[in-house]
Structure 1
């Protein structure tokens, strides 16, 4: 009896449009040595123009393709049961003028947000009061509190997001990266469920 073929589908890949999708591109495969080269080069899906940007290849499609060439072979799947193929073109490198415009826009927006927050909670009045309590003197500009606070605020934000430009301080993902990951996971889940719903509707209409 032939040894079983173990397949682990990748969750998501980026692939060029109008190019056949091979098994090695969407999955990790463990199989007998005599079958492995042919398995890896096996074309699983032909991308068509009308399919759009996002294409779902599930385990059943892989089984059908492989069974046509190796009837009766034992195929076992590990991990995800679908692979999302993104055929969108690679985005071009952002131009420097656009980068500077977006950077200035975000910088000004963040600065206004922080200033409005401080005004809402009367931060300046609190610092003036603290300065008076500690020193016994009253001043409108308690710089001994304001300067360290401003430096600490910026340093805290850098440490919180775990990035300073392209430098990462440790291997722990930043909160922004975690949120982007969760968003991508939710988006992929929606795409998969939406694809299944459309497939059921197509089957019902054809019957």
Structure 2
């Protein structure tokens, strides 16, 4: 009698160098409890140096491995058909001097970008004009508008990025996080197509 097992591959996982990749790390398995445990403990791949930092595991590889355990199992796959495995190596300590230089570069660069934008749209003239419309007086340094505007600009950036230092303001993702997520999805798709030999057949030039 055939037994049905359901597999749902994870989109992306992280492993350490030389780690054994078993099915329970790659997918969620649903089925007979005893059979499920046996399937989850099956080893699919052993991380080696030549794997570098990215490995792509296809659902076919997992199915083939399960059939070595029992070829009468009926396997139903759900969700992604591939899992991108990222090998996380020990990070090197960041130089404090380099960190300060990068911070200064970003600070000065963003400051210049804001100032150039204000110069392009003549923000000072706008403030002077608004001050004259409201008070009837001409003031070339309308601090009554410029100070609240500067404070509001900073608060607006905090709200836009949804972070105050390391603290998240609310659960809604920021536009920057959305862009990083979309970039990661596109990168994973590219890696899946180019790293997995089963996904692309190339012409033999020889």
Give the 5 Å matches for 1:1-207: 1-92=1-92, 94=94, 96-196=96-196, 200-201=200-201, 205=204
Alpha-carbon distance between aligned partners in 1 of 2:158 and 2:200, rounded to the nearest angstrom:
48
CA gap of 1:49–1:42, structure 2 versus 1, over 3 A, is same
Alpha-carbon distance between aligned partners in 1 of 2:8 and 2:68, rounded to the nearest angstrom:
20
CA RMSD, aligned part only?
2.1
Pick which of 12-21 and 96-105 moved more: 96-105
* Contact 2:194/2:200, CA 8 A, preserved across alignment: no
Identify unmatched segments of 5+ residues in structure 1. Answer: none
Pick which of 4-13 and 90-99 moved more: 90-99
Query: Can you list the C-alpha shifts for 1:95-117, whole angstroms capped at 9, x where unaligned?
Result: 55443332222111111111111
Query: Can you list the C-alpha shifts for 1:99-143, whole angstroms capped at 9, x where unaligned?
Result: 333222211111111111111111111111221121111111101
Alpha-carbon distance between aligned partners in 2 of 1:106 and 1:16, rounded to the nearest angstrom:
32
Residue correspondences, number: 205
Query: Can you list the C-alpha shifts for 1:50-85, whole angstroms capped at 9, x where unaligned?
Result: 233211110100111110111121111111000111
Pick which of 166-175 and 187-196 moved more: 187-196
Pick which of 68-77 and 84-93 moved more: 84-93
- Higher strand fraction: Structure 1 or Structure 2? 2
CA gap of 1:81–1:180, structure 2 versus 1, over 3 A, is same
Alpha-carbon distance between aligned partners in 2 of 1:24 and 1:4, rounded to the nearest angstrom:
17
Which TM-score applies when normalising by structure 2?
0.91
Which TM-score applies when normalising by structure 1?
0.90
Alpha-carbon distance between aligned partners in 1 of 2:82 and 2:149, rounded to the nearest angstrom:
50
Alpha-carbon distance between aligned partners in 2 of 1:75 and 1:21, rounded to the nearest angstrom:
20
Alpha-carbon distance between aligned partners in 2 of 1:167 and 1:97, rounded to the nearest angstrom:
25
SS in 2 for 1:8: strand
Identify unmatched segments of 5+ residues in structure 2. Answer: none
SS in 2 for 1:140: coil
